[in-house]
Amino acid sequence: MQPSAFIIITGLSGSGKGTFLRALEDRGFN
């Protein structure tokens, strides 16, 4: 995982994390 992505995850709220995780699944990371 890219450091910038980690910063985004830690910086967002719970709903933001959900959106980010959904984006990861959309790209096939999960």
Closest CA to 6 of 20, 22, 23: 20
pLDDT at res. 11: 63
Examine the pLDDT at 23 and tell me if it is beyond 60.
yes
For the segment 20-25, the average pLDDT, to the nearest whole number, is: 76
- Predicted confidence at residue 15, as pLDDT, reads 59
pLDDT at res. 17: 64
CA distance 6 to 17: 11
Residue 24 has pLDDT above 70, yes or no: yes
Q: Which residue would you say has higher pLDDT here, 11 or 27?
A: 27
Structure tokens at 26: 């959309």
